[in-house]
Amino acid sequence: MFLALNIGVYDFEESSAFQVLWKFISGDSTLPISEKYIIWDVRASRIVLSVLVGSMLAVSGTSLQGMFKNPLATGDLIGLTSGATLLAAIAIVLGHTFQEFLPEWLRVSLVSISAFIGALLAMILVYRISTSGGQTNVVMMLLAGVAITAIGFAITGLLIYISKDDQLRDLTFWNLGSLAGATWTKNTILFLVLLVSYFIILPKGKALNAMMLGEKDAQHLGIDVEKLKKQIIILTALMVGSCVAFSGTIGFVGLIIPYILRQIFRSDYHFILPLSAICGSILLLIADTISRTIVAPSELPIGILTGLMGAPVFIAILLKFKNNLR
């Protein structure tokens, strides 16, 4: 985190970034306004955003995998991200007409609320299509994701076609995924979402383990399966939706992290659920630091990096499940 703070395009001349940050925190009036802006509003807020987003994407992936009982279930593969992107895009394009009349927090939340609704709708659709009688059909789950992604892609394309210049910039930002738009308002909202979701989801390790026995047997172990599924559906939609609203489509985090953790802790959700919260933020922080330094002074879209890491993991899981998928 400290390294990430120190690395960047802007050069603080003599002093290191930590000294600058310290000066800022201690309210040193000699600090130039540009350095103040860079250290606090650009770099620190971006680091916090990447930590929050990475953590939530990984946890949402892990809990979806627990619910669907399959390591391929993640927000991006089953279409949650597309659903969120779609409604967020609609909110941007149509919301512009009355956005001037709204205060900033509401303007930011308008997009996040629609992203949440989009993710929730996609989630319910996928769940209805792929699951019957407590059994999830993996092929149906992934194909439902493909279908939702296709719809999302088509309508987002249409929106790009009809949108004006500044809206276009916003929309492109969504499709590529970037943490550059970090502000402290966004971070606060995300942090609240994170607190609420983790408070409910992180203690569910036992319940998700029991789900591996099958939903009926989990119920015999005293777990209210219906309630658990509702909580996971709503909270993952909330987490994925708000991540998409603030950072666009950053793929594969929810796939990579649980996969790595499963290699170490098997599928014991008691460990991998809280650990994915930590490892997810580490992964995204590293990826973001690389993405904004590797081609400095420009920056690489972060989706490229996570995609490069995630696609091989995807293929590895597919190979492992080749026999089961037949």
Task: Concatenate the DSSP letters of all residues of 14-47 into one string.
Answer: TS-HHHHHHHHHTT-TTS-HHHHIIIIIIIIHHH
The nearer residue to other proteins, 107 or 206, going by C-beta atoms, is 206
- Which member of 28, 41, 166, 224 binds other proteins (CB under 8 A)? 224
The nearer residue to other proteins, 111 or 261, going by C-beta atoms, is 261
Euclidean distance between CA atoms 191 and 187, whole angstroms: 6
The nearer residue to other proteins, 138 or 278, going by C-beta atoms, is 138
The CA-CA-CA angle for residues 128, 118, 121, to 5°, reads 20
Question: Which region, judged by CB under 8 A, interacts with other proteins, from 42-50, 192-200, 262-270, 311-319?
Answer: 262-270
State yes or no: residue 223 binds other proteins (CB under 8 A): yes
* CA diameter of the chain: 68
Euclidean distance between CA atoms 204 and 193, whole angstroms: 17
Euclidean distance between CA atoms 19 and 25, whole angstroms: 10
State the nearest-atom distance from the C-beta of 45 to other proteins, in Å.
Answer: 34
126: amino acid identity, one letter: V
State yes or no: residue 217 binds other proteins (CB under 8 A): yes
**Rounded alpha-carbon distances, angstroms, from residue 214 to 110, 209, 322:** 38, 10, 21
State the nearest-atom distance from the C-beta of 263 to other proteins, in Å.
Answer: 10
- Which member of 219, 278, 299, 317 binds other proteins (CB under 8 A)? 219
State yes or no: residue 270 binds other proteins (CB under 8 A): yes
Euclidean distance between CA atoms 209 and 268, whole angstroms: 6
State yes or no: residue 260 binds other proteins (CB under 8 A): no
Total chain residues near other proteins (CB under 8 A): 22
State the nearest-atom distance from the C-beta of 319 to other proteins, in Å.
Answer: 16
State yes or no: residue 36 binds other proteins (CB under 8 A): no
Burial class (CB in 10 A: 0-12, 13-18, 19+), 216: exposed
- Which member of 146, 221, 296, 308 binds other proteins (CB under 8 A)? 221
- Which member of 137, 176, 268, 313 binds other proteins (CB under 8 A)? 268
State the nearest-atom distance from the C-beta of 262 to other proteins, in Å.
Answer: 7
The nearer residue to other proteins, 192 or 318, going by C-beta atoms, is 318
Question: Which region, judged by CB under 8 A, interacts with other proteins, from 10-18, 160-168, 180-188, 219-227?
Answer: 219-227
Sign of the alpha-carbon torsion through 68, 73, 74, 77: negative
Peptide bond into 312 cis (omega under 30): no
Euclidean distance between CA atoms 301 and 287, whole angstroms: 10
- Which member of 220, 230, 308, 315 binds other proteins (CB under 8 A)? 220
Q: Which residues bind other proteins (CB under 8 A)?
A: 203, 205-206, 209-210, 212-214, 216-217, 219-224, 262, 266-268, 270, 324
